[in-house]
Amino acid sequence: MLDKARRSPKLRVLRNELGGRAYYCAALQGESDYNICINSDLTVSCNCRDRDGTGHIGDLSTQTLQEVFDGETARRFRETLARGSIPVLVCSECWELKAIPRREAARHVAQYHTPRRGIMVENTVLCNLRCASCDRKSVSGIRRKLSMSLEDIEKVARIIREYKIEEIAFHNLGEPFLPAGVLEEVKILRAHNPRARIICSTNGVLLDAESKREAALLMDHVYFSIDGPNQEVMTRYQCGGNFEKSYRNMRGLVALRNSRGKSLPEIEWKYVVFPWNDAEPYITDAIRLAGEADVDIISFWPGGWSPANISQRFLNDPFFQRLGNPSWKGREIDFRAWRR
């Protein structure tokens, strides 16, 4: 079992600074498959948790993606990391932060490239829920535009094609299925990038219209973020959510996909674990419901935006240590292996 210092990114940063270490950011090196985000107003953030704009490194309204990566802000961030400090606070909680010997730091400042493996596209920063840790007002306040236009999506799709980016994470700080034109958005991305892998994370409440289901079926992987096996438990965090709608829409998307003889998109129930939803009956009930919905995977992710909201049971209880299989997410059960 990992000790607390190894589990805490902030403590790792402190330990490494005291030890004379340097850092580099995999996202700013162009190595990430996820964390560089094109925001709803075409600004570019270096991380998916840039809720205050401190991670803005450029703007595709006036720059190319190459110019963003070559620009003053991205260069300053790399140089700050190479000196053994962090440029913005969110770095200390970001999995892209890597500790390296100081003698290697200069190489990482000079050697980088634009993203190739993946990029995030935030089609909207608006959301139909009010999750407990989300400061929607502040996030919306730093965007010049709250949602991308179809012209913006076209521009982004061309950029992704130009730079041969392999994966598109079609989500960030908003609910991607909120815009009425989401089907046209995904069609544009797919038309310009037919071989790209498109993934998406949704709370599922709005996936009840034909056009939105068709948008989902153009993707490769859809995560339904449902943090509990019933309304009461789920809405402790996902305020304003509707368990019955989310679950029904998830189950309906699986049935529609299967009726067409397709294996994609992969459909996954994403269950973020907190102290109030980590009891064994809740977890076993979610697994049962996931099986009944015929989803491909149910995954359990460690949650907690503060120490009080971290599930110690998830970290330490033998029940969770035996649950499914370990993965980069936390723990997961792949029902497809059971059905073979």
User: Does the structure show a pLDDT above 50 at 13?
Assistant: no
| β partners of residue 298 | 269, 333
Rounded to the nearest 5 percent, the helix, strand and coil shares of the chain are: 40, 15, 45
Domain ranges for the chain: 203-340
Q: What is the number of residues in the chain? A: 340
First to last CA, the chain: 33
Q: What percent of the chain has pLDDT over 90?
A: 79
- Which pLDDT tens digit goes with each residue over 231-248? 999 999 999 999 999 999
Per-residue pLDDT at 21: 81
CB-CB contact of 212 with 182 (8 Å): yes
Tokens of 192: 């310009």
Per-residue pLDDT at 4: 32
Per-residue pLDDT at 129: 93
User: Does the structure show a pLDDT above 80 at 15?
Assistant: no
Per-residue pLDDT at 139: 84
* DSSP label of 43: E
- Which pLDDT tens digit goes with each residue over 175-191? 999 999 999 999 999 99
- What angle do helix axes 182-192 and 210-217 make, rounded to 10 degrees? 20
In angstroms, rounded to a whole number, what is the distance separating the alpha carbons of residues 258 and 262? 6
- Block residue for tokens 């059971």: 338
Helix (H) or strand (E) holding 335: helix 335-339
Closest to 169 measured CA to CA, from 136, 193, 137, 145: 193
> Each residue of 275-314: b (16+ CB within 10 Å) or e?
bebbeeebbeebbebbeebebbbbbbbbbbeeeeebbebb
